[in-house]
């Protein structure tokens, strides 16, 4: 084969250094480091990647050998981050730390705390803009939190608070310099809920807040600037728990109760809400009051997405969307409804009632979904949980409804008089 043949041409080596560095910067650090054995040029390029790449990911899981993983991770962190010099032409925009369960540092070990503190000091000097910390082996100390909250260039921060670490006076920093922070994801246990609200009050640019929280009896959240809120709650005794929200600028609310039994009572002041996403799992009969209260709080939204799942241990269907003896709230502004749930008799009746209270509705998506564990497949009566959507379909999609003008015609469709073109069957 002739040397000029296209299969023999080394096109990779012909690329300029700047472009190769850019390509290598998209690889995980450990994979990029492996290219250093190719040639002296690539050894130089790897060093350039760590000096100029706008993004660095330090992932301990890339070093799977338990005995040496911590030491090798520290070596890589020192080589790629701690030795990096600040540069206005090549700023570090994104820093991600992911610590696996094999990572052997302890939150009570001075050596561990000193290592993490040095990382955050370096991140501050490099003016990092997006910081993400993931993993079950990191519980920040007071000094670590103070360092993180002093990085005034941060625009987004994802911070886990795991184990027994709580937001108490002992770990909460006395000063917060995150004036440019727009996105905050926070996971942890609140010792004093006022500490979290104090933090939110020191974030004048915050627009997105994601909060994951464990067991608590009652707490409140408030912010004047947050426009998007994702609330993930793992309740302990939900019948005794309340969550009070005060977000006058909030436009999007996403509530998720994890896979833990029950739902706390959630209510609040959210007058600007436009879209609500409710992902509610493992619901029991006693949770209908909490569901009804949550629907009442978001009844002025324009778009509603419901993902409702009853507890698998419930043998018989029950009206989870309707509180006994009370009517559904009115939804005067609701234009789009997307509901995924088991459309047994009670849920179907609740959706029909909701339609009667939604004169501005324009589109409707309904998807029938029921989950049965192996132990209950034979015990439950499948007919009790079957779909009673029009024509017993599993999926129905309606567009351009304008119920205010065509309510009678649409109610006839809901009354199982729709055509096959309107309803799609999926068995």
Tens digit of each residue's pLDDT (9 = 90 or more) over 20-39: 777 776 666 666 666 665 66
Q: Tell me: pLDDT of 86 over 70.
A: yes
Structure tokens at 9: 């041409």
Per DSSP, the three-state class of 279 is: strand
Tell me the three state secondary structure of residue 336.
strand
pLDDT (mean) for 317-338: 89
With CA atoms as reference, report the closest residue to 274 among 252, 292, 297, 295. Answer: 252
SS3 129: coil
The least confident of 149-153, 267-271, 422-426 is: 422-426
Point out the least confidently predicted range of 15-24, 115-124, 177-186, 369-378.
369-378
Domain boundaries, the chain: 15-53
- Whether the per-residue pLDDT at 101 is higher than 50: the answer is yes
% the chain with pLDDT above 90? 24
Place of tokens 């998209």: 26
Sign of CA dihedral 280, 283, 288, 293: negative
Angstrom distance (rounded) from CA 18 to CA 268: 53
**pLDDT tens sequence across 414-423:** 655 333 333 3
**Of residues 206, 148, 205, the one with CA closest to residue 173:** 148
pLDDT for position 164: 41
Confidence of residue 143 (pLDDT cuts 50, 70, 90): confident
More confident residue, 145 or 405: 145
Q: Which residue has the higher pLDDT, 258 or 267?
A: 267
In this prediction, residue 210 carries a pLDDT of: 93
pLDDT tier at 140 (50, 70, 90 boundaries)? low
What does the pLDDT average to over 269-286?
93
């Amino acid at each position: 084969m002739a040397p000029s043949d296209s299969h023999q041409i080394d096109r990779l080596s012909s690329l300029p250094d700047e472009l190769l560095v850019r390509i290598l910067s998209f690889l995980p650090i450990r994979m990029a480091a492996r290219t250093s054995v190719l040639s002296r040029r690539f050894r130089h390029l790897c060093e350039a990647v760590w000096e100029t790449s706008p993004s660095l990911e330090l992932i301990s899981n890339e070093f799977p050998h338990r005995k040496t993983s911590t030491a090798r991770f520290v070596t890589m962190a020192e080589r790629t981050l701690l030795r990096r010099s600040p540069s206005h032409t090549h700023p570090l925009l994104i820093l991600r730390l992911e610590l696996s369960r094999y990572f052997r540092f302890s939150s009570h070990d001075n050596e561990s705390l000193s290592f993490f503190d040095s990382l955050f000091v370096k991140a501050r000097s490099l003016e990092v803009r997006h910081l993400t910390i993931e993993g079950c082996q990191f519980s920040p100390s007071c000094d670590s939190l103070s360092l993180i909250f002093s990085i005034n260039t941060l625009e987004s921060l994802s911070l886990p608070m795991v184990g027994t670490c709580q937001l108490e006076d002992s770990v909460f920093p006395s000063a917060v310099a995150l004036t440019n922070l727009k996105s905050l994801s926070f996971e942890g246990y609140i010792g004093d809920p006022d500490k979290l609200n104090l933090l939110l009050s020191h974030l004048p640019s915050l627009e997105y807040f994601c909060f994951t929280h464990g067991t608590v009896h009652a707490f409140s959240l408030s912010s004047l600037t947050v426009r998007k809120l994702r609330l993930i709650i793992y309740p302990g005794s939900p019948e005794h728990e309340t969550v009070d929200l005060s977000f006058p600028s909030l436009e999007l609310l996403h509530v998720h109760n994890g896979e833990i039994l029950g739902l706390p009572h959630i209510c609040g002041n959210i007058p600007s809400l436009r879209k609500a996403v409710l992902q509610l799992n493992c619901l029991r009969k006693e949770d209908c009051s909490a569901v009804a209260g949550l629907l009442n709080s978001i009844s002025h939204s324009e778009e509603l997405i419901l993902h409702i799942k009853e507890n698998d241990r419930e043998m018989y269907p029950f009206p989870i969307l309707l509180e006994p003896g009370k009517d559904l709230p009115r939804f005067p502004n609701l234009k789009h409804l997307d509901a995924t749930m088991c459309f047994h008799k009670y849920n179907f009746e609740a959706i029909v009632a909701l339609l009667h209270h939604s004169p501005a509705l324009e589109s409707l998506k309904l998807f029938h979904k029921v989950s049965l564990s192996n132990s209950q497949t034979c015990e439950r009566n499948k007919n009790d949980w079957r779909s009673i959507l029009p024509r017993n379909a599993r999926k129905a999609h309606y567009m351009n409804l304008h119920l205010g003008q065509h309510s009678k015609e649409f109610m006839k469709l809901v009354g199982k008089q729709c055509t096959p073109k309107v309803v799609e069957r999926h068995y």
